[in-house]
Structure 1
Amino acid sequence: MQAARCPTDELSLTNCVVASEKDFKSGQLSIKTTPTQKFVFTVKTHSSVVPGTIAFSLPQRKWAGLSLNQDVEVSVYNFDPSRQYVGTMTLEIDFLQKKSVDSNPYDSDKMAIEFIQFFSAQAFSMGQQFVFSYCDKLFALLIKDIEAMDPSILRGEQSSSKKRKIEIGLLHGNSQVIFEKSESSSLNLIGKAKTRGSRQSIINPDWNFERMGIGGLDKEFSDIFRRAFASRVFPPDIVEQMGCKHVKGILLFGPPGCGKTLMARQIGKMLNAREPKVVNGPEILNKYVGESEANIRKLFADAEEEQKRLGANSGLHIIIFDEIDAICKQRGSMAGSTGVHDTVVNQLLSKIDGVDQLNNILVIGMTNRPDLIDDALLRPGRLEVKMEIGLPDETGRVQILNIHTAKMSQANMLAKDVDIKELAVETKNYSGAELEGLVRAAQSTAMNCHIKATTQVEVDTEKAQMLQVSRSDFMASLNNDIKPAFGSNQEDYSSYIMNGIVKWSNGVSDILGDGDLLVQQTKNSERTPLVTVLLEGKSYTQTLLTLYNFFIAYRSPNKLLLCLLACITINCKQNHFTRLLVFTLQGRKLLILGTTSRKDVLQEMGMLDSFSTTIHIPNISRGEHLMEALELLGGFQEEERATIAKQVKGQTVWLGIKKLQMLIEMSLQMPLEYRVNKFLALLREEGALGSNKHVAI
């Protein structure tokens, strides 16, 4: 038969080929255009079609590659109902002509019903292109996927879960149609039968923490995903049925250098979203009236335009505010100011959660001072997900160090004696930025060994080819270059326990046992997350308990005074002291250890009741305990200790362990024959030996 032009516009919209009644009555035809290529169409008849010809619409001719008057081989095609009925068909849809584009919503559920009614009992093939008329609009359709219907459904039985792809299928009244708008389309689809594309995960399938340079933040990412992105991953129709609203804002807060900015930037890469807009808080402010507010509006302009144009199909727009506390301070807190900060906060609130709400935005704010931010910005519906990005634990430090040493390791430039786990243990209280700085410092130390500094600076290129960063480079940088800004670094903490814990009696062991119980209580108990302990005893007693896996901040009296003065200043100037404490301590497990040699003063001040419990640290009060301490501390020889034991036997002793350490060291500076006499003389001078005014406890 010869290919001809479709006789009417109405018939061209039916997706059927048209033949003469003399040739065919109805059914499906197989059209073979070349020896290897054939197409299946449903046939209709029309009186104007010349016998021996078969008429095709323009979309059909384009899809099949047909030209007018071309000879084609035509035969009847019979469908197998058990294998070739359409179960689900996915169609890519767009406006047929650009001039007919509009932003009106089109209900895909109603569209699917009309499509099935109009095209029922018709043959369709993968990749087929045709035209569909709906609501007086012409739409171009492309078949993207066809799944076969389970024949048990036609028998009224329960369907199996297996899905089978087919190339050619016959549309049935029980078929399901899914519309998927093309990537460049501005078509606004609503309803359940819309766009499988929106059901795809918004998470990029090829992302991972290490390639993004993120370490130690697995839990934080998990929590952010649960709160902020779970609703965006779920099928849109289910979210619509639940009446669920997406989270629009996240606040990342914590110490500098812990990865807030890095995490915010990587969230943008992790998501299938528009390129994030990153702005530093101070950049928003402008000296001209109204310009600061205009800068806020510009940030949201693209999201507003796209939501008006695409509605629920709009992509996610991410806006990142670094140092958000610079523009979102408490309204009314800046006396004598022009009020610019207040109006900026008002403008930001109206854009995030105002009258014309945007559902296609995610605002990420970052700050070191969450206590300064206006309360209204932190309520649900705005920056409702508040996530602290704190110092990494040991596992996190291992991840971070592995990330920053990965290239060296791959290039065989990391010496075999470098133990990442050892470095993680030694870098307690280090932030992610400080760990990166440690790696850089170690690299600089290693490279410096290959630099010749004579009359000019030169590099020994032959040795440089053999460059390796060793453990000694890391340790040198750890001891000399990079120190943690928060808590107490390991070196400082070690200086406080330089001589270890001297267990000169069973009482010391009991005290340490009680201390360990308090540590475990703080870690494990949900009913007492805050434990306060007062260690009291006479001056120079040993009062330090050993803490493991804790963030340790040691405060001597002078440092504590500075902290109190800072808190008083904040309290007087801005009245944010309470807010600062709430943000700092909320949800924490906190163990506070206080020491004093004047319990009576605390009693008079009424402060003893502020502590959960009090532990008494006794002095050395018996001669045998003194001798036990001398043996543990070392320094004196066995003969010297025997002489001292004879002198203190039966004597009253009253001495703190730290004072004892000092007297031993002073005595050891004397010649050998005078050391014992010097030690005994010092004991008597200190009133620690032979005095009856003390009662042994």
Structure 2
Amino acid sequence: MDLAVGQQPSNSLAYTNRVYVSHPDWEFLLSRVANPEASKIEDDALLITVNGLVFAVSPNKGIETGNIGLNSLQRRFGVFTLTQRVKVDIFESNAGLALTSVIVRVDLLAKGKVKSPLQLATEEMAGAFKAAFLSQVLQTQQPLAWDFRGTKLELIIESFQNLIPGGNCPNAGQLLQPTDVVFTKEKGAMVALSGANSGAPRDNIINPDFDFGKLGIGGLGNEFNQIFRRAFASRVFPGHIVKQLGINHVRGMLLWGPPGCGKTLIARTIGKILNAREPKIVNGPEVLDKYVGGSEERIRELFKDAEKEQQEMGDGSGLHVIIFDEIDAICKSRGSSRDSTGVSDSIVNQLLSKIDGVNSLNNILVIGMTNRKDMIDEAVLRPGRLEVHVEIGLPDEEGRLQIISIHTKSMREHKRIAPEAVEKLAELARATKNYSGAEIEGLVKSAASFAFQRNVNVKDLSQLKEEELIVEWADFQRALLEVPPRLGANSEELEVLFRNGIVPYGSSFDAIMMTLRRFVQQVRVSDRTPLLSVLLEGAPSTGKTAIAASLGVQSEFPFVRVVSADAMVGFSETAKCAAILKAFQDSSRSPLSVIVLDDLERLIDYSPIGPRFSNTVVQTLLVLLKKPPTSPDKRLLVIGTTSVAAHLEDLQLVQGFNVMLTVPQLTGPEEIKTVLREVVTSLSQKEMDDITSAISQPIGIKQLLMVTEMARQGEETVSTDRFLECLHICGF
């Protein structure tokens, strides 16, 4: 039958998603029904087609005979105009039309009339939706008007799945009681959906296609796993799941560690890792403003977009990432600044209130980076703010190999590196213990500079042999000497302390070295003694410093640091304590470390007259000597040297060491002869006997070496008389 399109007699009928006809037309349609079970859905509702579109039809006395009443959404869907003649037929449903699931987009029917998102519970919506439209046939992209608990909504059928896909009506499906209904939010809609039936499209916040190697990041796999677990994992799940657990998302994290280990590199690449809007990257000092209140205003501007989106979208808001590089510049402990403006404290207060204040945001992630964690206000670091603290430390051997591979990738692709060097990259990774990522990059640059130098003729710069520009393995070996690690063992600095080598002068020396090597092995392998301290005491010039330095080199520990008074000339007590503390803190970043506290009496400013000493430095040493490494996989050996152990014992400094070993002077003739044979090969046995008989008192090995060198000056050989004369000059 043909009917004319008209309006529905009342607005309330628009929310039923039915079309309406007059009673005479209704009776005519009933007479045309061949299979009531397939066409009749209620006593007063049939399934019909209007120009091929399926609707449910009911009678209404407000409709004139020959007309069919459609609401505005139905007319828009079918592209119908008022008074247009349309063809109406009976529609028969079948089992294949049954819907197993349907996804419905939700928006407000009257847009622009609310200022904040309306919270809608999707579990209640699903039940009410099926009660309102049960047995109706839905079509893709069909708009529906719906009154849910007094809220007028516009629904769009986005997609669905039929019980039997590919039936005779692929774009239509019948809503039944078992059908799963999932609601998603229309883009820009002022509604916030929550609950298990919320199928709001959740973008994967981690881009599945990212590759650390392509992004230029190596050796940070464990750190990224920890960052994802603590900061991003909860955001992958729907909001109702997180609410069921009763937790809040992590709003902030702190990346800290020594310079050059990749904190800023993470900031540069995190935007490529996140499958979301670009993060805001702010250098800490850039926040500061010369105008009063300007710095606080800049902090508020950083959070403005997140606040606006949360007001509009509620829990459906996307993630806003704000990255502060060098955050210690703006988050110093309140009260520590000496200026009279209080700007630093105000910035901290403003940041605290934005991250976790009264109106806290749930759609932000603040990432701060620093190498001075100790300077940051403790309120910033508490749970709820920058609660996740990830140490970006020195890379292990596998990480160093990844970094070396990244920085030599272009060389290898363009065949600018020798095959031998490519084969030995793993060996280079083993040799770069305690190198940071930035230092490894500097190492590769240094190796390339040797290749440049080899192929450049300064006198004729026009003759460049580009084809011969190859980085050799020898270039990397030279670069290892030129670019030492900041937290490594500087062998040249240590070898200066025993420039003339070590002379094994007798059994007493061998016993000391054997004991010290046993201590090194104990620190290396024992799980029960991660910290071991040894004090070498003895008379002056017995070679205590040389023994300690040589042991540091022989140990092959990646971190060896000498703390001596000559590097602290002019330091105040506070500065000395800070320097000593820094050496111990740096050692905690290395798996195996040796610290040599050389000449303890000079470190503490000890003077026998008085006696006088620096109690602040003494207390610092006592505390640090007893403090084990913070990480279970870190080991530390501390070696101290002193010539006044008896006086230090009164200060309880000796008791702070686990073991005290005495380095003796040369006493027996055989020990003296052993040293002389090592230095002077031209002495006869009689001359040696005369010299040893003249040395009646114990003598330090350094003193004996000095006297021998004095006697050799200007002479081809060392005579007994000359030696005894020099011995007398030196006070023996």
The TM tier, using the shorter chain, reads 0.7 to 0.9
For the structure 1 residues 140 and 169, does the alpha-carbon distance in structure 2 shift closer, same or farther, using more than 3 Å as the test?
closer
Distance in 2, matches of 1:405 and 1:181, equals 48
For the structure 1 residues 563 and 468, does the alpha-carbon distance in structure 2 shift closer, same or farther, using more than 3 Å as the test?
farther
Residue equivalent to 2:122: 108
In the alignment, does 2:284 pair up with 1:281? yes
Distance in 2, matches of 1:438 and 1:172, equals 69
Q: How does 1:64-75 map to 2 (within 5 A)?
A: none
Larger mean CA deviation between 50-59 and 323-332 belongs to 50-59
For the structure 1 residues 431 and 30, does the alpha-carbon distance in structure 2 shift closer, same or farther, using more than 3 Å as the test?
farther
Write the letter of the residue equivalent to 2:31.
Answer: K
For the structure 1 residues 250 and 43, does the alpha-carbon distance in structure 2 shift closer, same or farther, using more than 3 Å as the test?
same
Larger mean CA deviation between 546-555 and 584-593 belongs to 584-593
Residue equivalent to 2:473: 471
Could you tell me whether the CA contact under 8 Å between 1:5 and 1:57 is conserved in 2? no
Q: Considering only aligned residues, what root-mean-square deviation do their CA atoms show, in Å?
A: 4.8
Could you tell me whether the CA contact under 8 Å between 2:48 and 2:56 is conserved in 1? no
Distance in 1, matches of 2:468 and 2:146, equals 70
Deviation at 1:183, TM superposition (A): 4.4
Distance in 2, matches of 1:483 and 1:173, equals 73
Bigger radius of gyration: 2
Provide, for residues 33-87 of structure 1, a one-character-per-residue CA deviation record: whole Å limited to 9, x for no partner: 9xxxx98x5654558999999998876787789997788998634215xxx7544
For the structure 1 residues 598 and 77, does the alpha-carbon distance in structure 2 shift closer, same or farther, using more than 3 Å as the test?
same
Provide, for residues 602-661 of structure 1, a one-character-per-residue CA deviation record: whole Å limited to 9, x for no partner: 223321111133344456766777899999x8x999xx8996999699999977777788
SS at the partner of 2:324?
Answer: strand
For the structure 1 residues 51 and 218, does the alpha-carbon distance in structure 2 shift closer, same or farther, using more than 3 Å as the test?
same
Residue equivalent to 2:604: none
Aligned equivalent of 2:92, options 76, 98, 102: 76
Write the letter of the residue equivalent to 2:105.
Answer: E
In the alignment, does 2:56 pair up with 1:22? no
SS at the partner of 1:425?
Answer: helix
Provide, for residues 439-491 of structure 1, a one-character-per-residue CA deviation record: whole Å limited to 9, x for no partner: 22333332343434336x4352xx314532222333333333x3433444354
In the alignment, does 2:167 pair up with 1:177? no
Deviation at 1:318, TM superposition (A): 1.6
Could you tell me whether the CA contact under 8 Å between 1:21 and 1:46 is conserved in 2? no
For the structure 1 residues 554 and 2, does the alpha-carbon distance in structure 2 shift closer, same or farther, using more than 3 Å as the test?
farther
Residue equivalent to 1:554: 562
Write the letter of the residue equivalent to 2:659.
Answer: T
Could you tell me whether the CA contact under 8 Å between 1:216 and 1:400 is conserved in 2? yes
Q: How does 1:442-591 map to 2 (within 5 A)?
A: 442-454=447-459, 457-458=461-462, 460=464, 463-480=465-482, 482-493=483-494, 507=511, 508-521=513-526, 524-525=527-528, 529-538=530-539, 539-541=542-544, 542-543=547-548, 544-545=550-551, 546-559=554-567, 565=573, 567=575, 587=631, 590-591=636-637
Residue equivalent to 1:138: 153
Distance in 2, matches of 1:3 and 1:472, equals 93
Larger mean CA deviation between 678-687 and 110-119 belongs to 678-687
- Per the normalisation by structure 2, the TM-score is 0.73
Deviation at 1:244, TM superposition (A): 0.7
For the structure 1 residues 399 and 45, does the alpha-carbon distance in structure 2 shift closer, same or farther, using more than 3 Å as the test?
same
SS at the partner of 1:553?
Answer: strand
Residue equivalent to 2:337: 334
Larger mean CA deviation between 361-370 and 263-272 belongs to 263-272
SS at the partner of 2:394?
Answer: coil
Aligned equivalent of 1:291, options 289, 294, 298: 294
Could you tell me whether the CA contact under 8 Å between 1:277 and 1:320 is conserved in 2? yes
Residue equivalent to 1:157: none
SS at the partner of 1:329?
Answer: coil
Deviation at 1:125, TM superposition (A): 5.8
Residue equivalent to 2:585: none
Provide, for residues 521-580 of structure 1, a one-character-per-residue CA deviation record: whole Å limited to 9, x for no partner: 4xx33xx55433323345215234343454332323312567775535979xxx9x99x9
Provide, for residues 207-247 of structure 1, a one-character-per-residue CA deviation record: whole Å limited to 9, x for no partner: 23222222222222222223222322333212112221222
Larger mean CA deviation between 591-600 and 353-362 belongs to 591-600
Larger mean CA deviation between 465-474 and 232-241 belongs to 465-474
Could you tell me whether the CA contact under 8 Å between 1:26 and 1:42 is conserved in 2? no
Larger mean CA deviation between 177-186 and 311-320 belongs to 177-186
For the structure 1 residues 659 and 276, does the alpha-carbon distance in structure 2 shift closer, same or farther, using more than 3 Å as the test?
farther
Could you tell me whether the CA contact under 8 Å between 2:206 and 2:274 is conserved in 1? yes
For the structure 1 residues 168 and 368, does the alpha-carbon distance in structure 2 shift closer, same or farther, using more than 3 Å as the test?
same
Aligned equivalent of 2:103, options 90, 93, 100: 90
Could you tell me whether the CA contact under 8 Å between 1:251 and 1:386 is conserved in 2? yes
Provide, for residues 342-399 of structure 1, a one-character-per-residue CA deviation record: whole Å limited to 9, x for no partner: 2222212221222111111122222232222222222222222223323333332222
Aligned equivalent of 2:426, options 421, 426, 434: 421
Distance in 2, matches of 1:406 and 1:681, equals 65
Larger mean CA deviation between 62-71 and 431-440 belongs to 62-71
Residue equivalent to 1:357: 360
Distance in 1, matches of 2:357 and 2:558, equals 44
Larger mean CA deviation between 129-138 and 489-498 belongs to 489-498
Distance in 2, matches of 1:665 and 1:533, equals 32
Could you tell me whether the CA contact under 8 Å between 1:253 and 1:260 is conserved in 2? yes
Write the letter of the residue equivalent to 1:595.
Answer: T
Deviation at 1:12, TM superposition (A): 6.5
Residue equivalent to 1:602: 648
Structure 1 unaligned spans of 5+: 150-165, 688-692
Write the letter of the residue equivalent to 2:451.
Answer: A
For the structure 1 residues 65 and 593, does the alpha-carbon distance in structure 2 shift closer, same or farther, using more than 3 Å as the test?
farther
For the structure 1 residues 478 and 136, does the alpha-carbon distance in structure 2 shift closer, same or farther, using more than 3 Å as the test?
same
Write the letter of the residue equivalent to 1:428.
Answer: K
Could you tell me whether the CA contact under 8 Å between 2:145 and 2:152 is conserved in 1? no
Could you tell me whether the CA contact under 8 Å between 2:288 and 2:295 is conserved in 1? yes
Could you tell me whether the CA contact under 8 Å between 1:405 and 1:439 is conserved in 2? yes
SS at the partner of 1:375?
Answer: coil
Distance in 2, matches of 1:234 and 1:277, equals 24
Deviation at 1:132, TM superposition (A): 4.3
Q: How does 1:368-379 map to 2 (within 5 A)?
A: 368-379=371-382
Residue equivalent to 1:190: 194
For the structure 1 residues 669 and 386, does the alpha-carbon distance in structure 2 shift closer, same or farther, using more than 3 Å as the test?
farther
Distance in 1, matches of 2:531 and 2:256, equals 22
Deviation at 1:118, TM superposition (A): 1.9
Larger mean CA deviation between 137-146 and 289-298 belongs to 137-146
Distance in 2, matches of 1:287 and 1:556, equals 43
Deviation at 1:512, TM superposition (A): 0.9
For the structure 1 residues 57 and 686, does the alpha-carbon distance in structure 2 shift closer, same or farther, using more than 3 Å as the test?
farther
Residue equivalent to 1:154: none
Deviation at 1:683, TM superposition (A): 10
For the structure 1 residues 372 and 7, does the alpha-carbon distance in structure 2 shift closer, same or farther, using more than 3 Å as the test?
same
Distance in 1, matches of 2:676 and 2:162, equals 86
Write the letter of the residue equivalent to 1:117.
Answer: A
SS at the partner of 1:374?
Answer: coil
SS at the partner of 1:21?
Answer: helix
Larger mean CA deviation between 494-503 and 592-601 belongs to 494-503
Could you tell me whether the CA contact under 8 Å between 2:102 and 2:157 is conserved in 1? no
Larger mean CA deviation between 312-321 and 394-403 belongs to 394-403
Provide, for residues 110-136 of structure 1, a one-character-per-residue CA deviation record: whole Å limited to 9, x for no partner: 222211222333445666665544344
- Per the normalisation by structure 1, the TM-score is 0.76
Distance in 2, matches of 1:520 and 1:355, equals 52
Could you tell me whether the CA contact under 8 Å between 1:93 and 1:142 is conserved in 2? no
Could you tell me whether the CA contact under 8 Å between 2:5 and 2:86 is conserved in 1? no
